[in-house]
Amino acid sequence: MNIERNSVEGRAAVHAALGEPARLRIVDLLALGDLSPAELQGELGMASNLLSHHLRTLEEAGLVSRHRSEADRRRSYVRLERDGMAGLLPAAAVRAPRVLFVCYANSARSQLAEALWKRASPVPSASAGTHPAAGVAPGAKDVAARHGLDLEGSRPEELSRVARLGDLLVAVCDRAHEELPASGRLHWSVPDPVGVGTPAAFEAAFCEIAERVTDLSRRLSTA
């Protein structure tokens, strides 16, 4: 379905999609991070065929999208499409003493998320990797500098050395999310710019992370 979101038909489709309590609950669950259909099914206690129906309705209304995991290609993640959702998402408060951004190598996405968070929120933050690289990716340093952030003194850290009790963990890559034990962390399925290596890939990752950081910073306060 290709409906202009700002048209009467598009607005009607959004309201119709959100008029079902189960679909509204799905949107609420996706408000802070991405989830696989299996994760959604576990949260909702819903049969897979009914979940598929609800997801299809939300996709047709342009409210969610699905894409393949960069790690386990058999897995997909559902992402909330925030265009047109202004004023429709719940103002749910999240409390944590610190935000810990995690990715596989801690060389790009999690470093950018930490730097962006420090600019957006007074809540403390850190970043780490499940398999830290030798250094921060040059492309991450370049895109940070273009946006007024400095990663020159940053270095990858191992997750077990950085994590603290009470941290709100945000996995910013599929590989780290799928590798870590199931927990209450958030997941942002951000494509890996290092594998592509182009300035455009790093810019796209930066912009997506910046949008998500801004959204979470408005919802989170220190514990």
Worst-scoring range by mean pLDDT, 84-93, 118-127, 154-163? 84-93
Summarize the confidence of residues 150-156 as an average pLDDT.
Answer: 95
- Model pLDDT, residue 7: 67
Q: Residue 209: what pLDDT?
A: 98
The pLDDT value given to residue 2: 44
The predicted pLDDT at position 112 comes to: 98
Condensed to tens digits (0 to 9), the pLDDT of residues 8-54 reads 777 788 888 999 999 999 999 998 899 999 999 999 999 999 999 99
Report pLDDT for 82: 77
- What digits encode the pLDDT tens for the residues 161-179? 999 999 999 999 999 999 9
Angle between helices 21-30 and 48-60 (to 10 degrees): 80
pLDDT value of position 15 = 86
**pLDDT band at residue 221 using 50, 70 and 90 as cut-offs:** confident
d(CA 202, CA 140): 6
Domains of the chain: 8-80 (1.10.10.10), 94-221 (3.40.50.2300)
Q: What is the pLDDT of residue 182?
A: 77
Q: Which of 159, 161, 156 is nearest to 170 (CA)?
A: 159
pLDDT(220) > 80 = yes
pLDDT at 207: 97
Residues in the chain: 223
pLDDT band, very low/low/confident/very high, at 122 (cuts 50, 70, 90): very high
Residue 6 has pLDDT above 90, yes or no: no
Give tens-digit pLDDT for 54-96: 999 999 999 999 999 999 989 999 999 977 565 566 655 788 9
Q: Which pLDDT belongs to residue 85?
A: 64
Angle between helices 21-30 and 8-18 (to 10 degrees): 100
Please state the pTM of the whole predicted model. 0.85
- Mean pLDDT to the nearest integer, 148-163: 96
